[in-house]
Structure 1
Amino acid sequence: MSNPGRETDHMAACRPAAAAAAAEEPRDGLHEQWFVACTKSELRPDKPLGVKILGLGIVLFRQRNGDVTALIDQCVHRGTRLSAGKLADDCLVCPYHGWRYDAQGRVVHIPTIDGVQPGPTPADYPFRQRQLSVREQDGLIWVYPGTGDASARQAFRMPFHADQQWQSYFMVNSFDGDIGMLAQNFMDVPHTVFVHDGIFRSSRGSAMEATVALKAESVEVTYHDEHDKIGMMEWLTNPRREPLVHTDRFFAPNVTRCDYLWGSQSGFLIVSQITPIDARRSRVYTYIAYRFALPRWLLRALRPLLHLYTHVVIQQDVRIMRAHRQGLDNAPGFKPHNVRADVVHVGIERLLAAIRQGEALPEAERGEKLMRFEL
């Protein structure tokens, strides 16, 4: 026979665990941002998905009405990973003792209390796990890991995602490196002639100039070399022999966008969304969008070739960032030696430092500089 008094005592005894689960971790300004948790296709309708952002475990699941929920990936009962559980009646069921969580993170059923008897209403349980703000747009699912007002910031929009004249797809890869290391790599032209020699860009022994604009929340680089080429097939990218307009942008804290445009009819874009897993590793959602002056049937036929090409290039970056991370580990306390071609790197570091402090980049540090290097 059930004993209501003992049930209440049991609930009270569990409150410290719930409070501990809700305790806030030390945070900096990076937490108050939207980060990509997964692509739309990665979140199956019948199974929870566990991800990690800034060291915080998060579980995602989709309800029957299509809405997505994000909770801290930890049962408030014994701390078990909820993403190892299952879905039942729009609830997330812990795999250890069957505690059920609704879409707001409230515990709505505890088998060891309720048994086969009707239990209290969900509002009577004192337990809940923290729910995180979620946004689904442009084929991606975003999570806001901070505790501030998520609506005060916008998630980055994928350029041309809904434009029928452009084709696009995502690639997802894990990298060794934090946001700063990866953003610097994706914005770094000098490395391309060594890491991507012969496939993306080759050394030509001539100077390249660019204007680097450091702004309040971005670094924007405009290259002044209309004769520059990237290693894709020119008959595909630039059949009309138009001059290349190349711009790279870093949108603080975690997005890079590289545009290669040939006139008004051809273009190739690479947008990298960097989601920090922890201090050493990141997941990168690379968005490729392209428009070429060829019939659509031919572009569809060439799509597998483009996928293969971009995959090879990205894997070269994955390998060089692994070597970079290993080199930094070989002798802790390393300090970089910057040269004129590293203006972009320095700008990214300054923006990230300001964001971590929850501050705007000082006006005195903003402005434009000319960058010149041999390619």
Structure 2
Amino acid sequence: MSTLNREPENVAAPHVCGDVTQANTATATRDGLHEQWFVACTQRELRRGNPLGVKILGLGVALFRQSNGQVAALIDQCVHRGTRLSAGKLADDCLVCPYHGWRYDGDGRVVHIPTIDGIKPAATPSDYPFRQRSLPVREQDGLIWVFIGDGNADKKPIFRMPFYGQAPWQSYFMVNTFDGDIGMLAQNFMDVPHTVFVHDGIFRSSRGSAMEATVALKAESVEVTYHDEQDKIGMMDWLTNPDHEPLVHTDRFFAPNVTRCDYLWGSRSGFLIVSQITPIDARRSRVYTYIAYRFRLPRWVLRALRPLLHLYTNIVIQQDVRIMRAHRQGLDNAPDFEAHNVRADVVHVGIDRLLAAVRRGETLPEAQRGEKLMRFEI
């Protein structure tokens, strides 16, 4: 048996010392999960001229795009009185606190204080000892990533979105807030047995037969290869599989927070779902769902069908949003709950073990790696 994962407690935001001469970053207990890149938003969500506030593992982050196109990320707290900076505005390429107008450049330095500069010539940034912590930021594959850790961000790779911008593949993002932590959501996204109950008739229907899969537990990932050429997903075979090719289905979890599900029919048709899970706090997560597809139809037909595909995938993901809310409510009803795993839950156990290793700052121990056969009925 294994217990469900719990996310780390909230990270305390920076505070100002009593003499208000400098800003420090106070941190609560951290673990290896904090030393990761997380998606803060899509590029479209960060609009020019407006700051955006997000939370990652309980830590507020203020994002804004500078005139040179670069994105800046600061701890979302003014060092003056602690006000949320993302509630402010942008002026002269700086983030302006909405309370007393203190201005921050992209590096987090306070460069203008109205209550001082209003009675003497404008100061230069070096005149002020005040500074808020800035965070490493990267833009890649339509997403904006932030690193909230204390370690070397350059040593941590950022997950690439498969086939992003590569013809003939087309892609789009969906963004949703789920009730649940990384472990709960990764287990849901990698869970085939639930699909015949939660997504019955729209994604997969029960046929009363056995399905087998090989589960490979590796140093930093879980890979599940399904052995069922008769398996079908969705309601549009005429679109996804007009040549009646066998379905090749592979699911992967990349520690600590990415799932990838591949559905391929021959060499010309495919459908991918990649879920980037960003923990907001111990109870909620923001999920950036990347959908990539290629089908054996002219591009103009696929463009015309795009709204239908968006509607279909949104219906499916909203079903998962609702079931995870019910799952969270059930856990809240019995805080001392302990999961009872069966053979079909080997994927869940693997995800739990990988996340535990991440929190320790390690890869999965050699003794826990290997392959297992999973068998269940759908």
Q: Normalised by the size of structure 2, how large is the TM-score?
A: 0.94
Q: Which residue of 1 aligns with 2:265?
A: 262
Q: Which residue of 2 aligns with 1:4?
A: none
Letter in 2 for 1:133: P
Of 48, 52, 72, the residue aligned with 2:51 is: 48
* 2-structure distance, mates of 1:50, 1:38: 10
Q: Which residue of 1 aligns with 2:133?
A: 130
1:196 equivalenced with 2:199 (yes/no): yes
User: What aligned pairs does 1:30-49 form with structure 2 within 5 A after superposition?
Assistant: 30-49=33-52
* 1-structure distance, mates of 2:280, 2:18: 34
Q: Which residue of 2 aligns with 1:363?
A: 366
Q: Which residue of 1 aligns with 2:169?
A: 166
User: What aligned pairs does 1:94-113 form with structure 2 within 5 A after superposition?
Assistant: 94-113=97-116
* 1-structure distance, mates of 2:116, 2:370: 63
Of 312, 329, 334, the residue aligned with 2:315 is: 312
**1:232: Cα distance to partner?**
3.1
* 2-structure distance, mates of 1:110, 1:303: 50
**1:114: Cα distance to partner?**
1.7
* 2-structure distance, mates of 1:124, 1:64: 24
Aligned with 1:128: secondary structure?
Answer: coil
User: What aligned pairs does 1:1-375 form with structure 2 within 5 A after superposition?
Assistant: 13-15=19-21, 18-19=23-24, 22-375=25-378
Aligned with 2:135: secondary structure?
Answer: strand
For each residue in 1:329-372, what CA deviation from the matched residue of structure 2 results, as whole angstroms up to 9, or x when unmatched? 00111100000000000000000001111122110000000000
For each residue in 1:94-113, what CA deviation from the matched residue of structure 2 results, as whole angstroms up to 9, or x when unmatched? 00001000010000111111
Aligned with 1:41: secondary structure?
Answer: coil
Q: Which residue of 2 aligns with 1:8?
A: none
Deviates more, 1:63-72 or 1:107-116: 107-116
Letter in 1 for 2:116: I
* 1-structure distance, mates of 2:345, 2:67: 50
* 2-structure distance, mates of 1:25, 1:370: 41
**1:24: Cα distance to partner?**
2.2
* 2-structure distance, mates of 1:251, 1:149: 20
Tell me, which stretches of 5 or more residues in structure 2 are unaligned?
1-16
**1:152: Cα distance to partner?**
0.2
**1:25: Cα distance to partner?**
2.6
* 2-structure distance, mates of 1:190, 1:154: 32
Moved over 6 A (4+): none
Letter in 1 for 2:21: R
* 2-structure distance, mates of 1:297, 1:232: 21
Letter in 2 for 1:241: H
Letter in 2 for 1:370: L
* 1-structure distance, mates of 2:29, 2:132: 18
**1:242: Cα distance to partner?**
0.5
Letter in 2 for 1:349: D
Q: Normalised by the size of structure 1, how large is the TM-score?
A: 0.95
RMSD: 1.0
* 2-structure distance, mates of 1:218, 1:162: 25
User: How many positions carry a matched residue from both structures?
Assistant: 362
* 2-structure distance, mates of 1:371, 1:104: 50
* 2-structure distance, mates of 1:304, 1:269: 17
Tell me, which stretches of 5 or more residues in structure 1 are unaligned?
1-10
For each residue in 1:34-91, what CA deviation from the matched residue of structure 2 results, as whole angstroms up to 9, or x when unmatched? 1000000000100000000000000000001110000000000000000000001110
For each residue in 1:233-270, what CA deviation from the matched residue of structure 2 results, as whole angstroms up to 9, or x when unmatched? 00100000101000000000000000000000000000
Letter in 1 for 2:213: A
* 1-structure distance, mates of 2:255, 2:20: 41
**1:12: Cα distance to partner?**
8.1
**1:119: Cα distance to partner?**
3.8
Letter in 1 for 2:373: L
Letter in 1 for 2:162: P
Relative to its length, the structure with more helix (as a share) is 1
* 2-structure distance, mates of 1:36, 1:108: 28
**1:26: Cα distance to partner?**
1.8
Aligned with 2:44: secondary structure?
Answer: helix
Aligned with 1:15: secondary structure?
Answer: coil
Letter in 2 for 1:287: Y
**1:116: Cα distance to partner?**
4.2
* 2-structure distance, mates of 1:193, 1:122: 60
Give the number of the structure whose alpha-carbon radius of gyration is greater.
Answer: 1
* 1-structure distance, mates of 2:73, 2:91: 16
* 2-structure distance, mates of 1:353, 1:239: 43
